[in-house]
Amino acid sequence: MYNPGDVSTSSLQPTAFETLLTQSRGVDGHTHLTPDTRRWLGGLEAQLPPRFWLHTDTAAQRAARRLGAAGFVYGDRIFVDDGRPEHLDAVLRHELVHLAQVQLAARTGRIAPSAVVEHEAEAISALPVARPVRHGADPQQLHPLVWFVAIGVGLYVLLRPGVANAPGPRDTPIPGPSPGQIIAEALCLFVVPAGAIGIGARLGLGFLGRMALAGAATNVSLRATSDVARGQASPPLMYLFDATTGAVIGFVVPGGFRLIGRAGTYGLDRLATYGVSQSDIALTRVLAERAAQAPLTAVQAQQILSTRGMAGQVSQWWLNRRGVIVLYRGQDIATGQILSPLARQEGVAASQELVARMRTLGLSDAEIAGYTARWHTQPIPPFAAPEGLAGLPLGSTGIPTTNLPGIAANFGDEGVIYVIRMPRSQAISPLGWQGLQLENEFVILNQVPSGSIVRMIPAQRVAPLMVNESGLLVPGR
Same-domain pairing of 152 and 230: yes
Distance CA 28, CA 32 (A): 7
- Does any domain span residue 347? no
Helix (H) or strand (E) holding 441: strand 441-445
The strand pairing partners of 253, in sequence order, are 256
- Does any domain span residue 25? yes
pLDDT at 154: 34
Same-domain pairing of 119 and 81: yes
Last residue of a domain, one of 230, 259, 288: 259
Give, as one character, the DSSP assignment of residue 173.
P
397-439: pLDDT as tens digits: 999 999 999 999 998 877 899 999 999 999 998 875 554 566 7
Residue 37 near residue 91 (C-beta atoms within 8 A): no
Same-domain pairing of 307 and 423: yes
- Does any domain span residue 351? no
Range of the domain at 471: 267-340+398-475
* Nearest-10 crossing angle of helices 207-228, 14-23: 130
Total residues found in the chain within this entry: 477
Sequence-distant (≥ 6) Cβ neighbours of residue 237 within 8 angstroms:
222, 223, 225, 226, 229, 252
Same-domain pairing of 221 and 255: yes
pLDDT band of residue 319 (cuts 50, 70, 90) is: confident
Same-domain pairing of 302 and 242: no
Three-state secondary-structure class, residue 342: helix
Same-domain pairing of 295 and 222: no
pLDDT at 445: 96
Q: What is the pTM of this model?
A: 0.53
- Does any domain span residue 10? no
368-397: pLDDT as tens digits: 999 998 888 999 999 988 889 999 999 999
pLDDT at 12 over 70: no
Same-domain pairing of 108 and 242: no
pLDDT band of residue 224 (cuts 50, 70, 90) is: very low
Same-domain pairing of 415 and 320: yes
Same-domain pairing of 32 and 96: yes
90-142: pLDDT as tens digits: 778 888 998 999 899 888 888 887 667 777 887 787 777 889 999 998 776 64
- Does any domain span residue 422? yes
pLDDT at 417: 93
Strand-pair category, 71-74 with 239-241: unpaired
261-302: pLDDT as tens digits: 666 567 677 777 877 888 888 889 889 999 999 999 888 888
Sequence-distant (≥ 6) Cβ neighbours of residue 115 within 8 angstroms:
146
Burial 253-270, CB ≥16 within 10 A → b, else e: bbbbbebeeeebeebbbb
- Does any domain span residue 4? no
Same-domain pairing of 237 and 314: no
Residue 355 near residue 445 (C-beta atoms within 8 A): yes
Distance CA 238, CA 165 (A): 12
Counting the structural domains of the chain, the total is: 3
What is the mean predicted confidence (pLDDT) over 15-32? Answer: 81
Same-domain pairing of 434 and 333: yes
Q: Shortest CA distance to 141 belongs to which of 224, 57, 206, 232?
A: 206
Same-domain pairing of 296 and 437: yes
Amino acid at 392: L
Sequence-distant (≥ 6) Cβ neighbours of residue 83 within 8 angstroms:
56, 61
- Does any domain span residue 460? yes
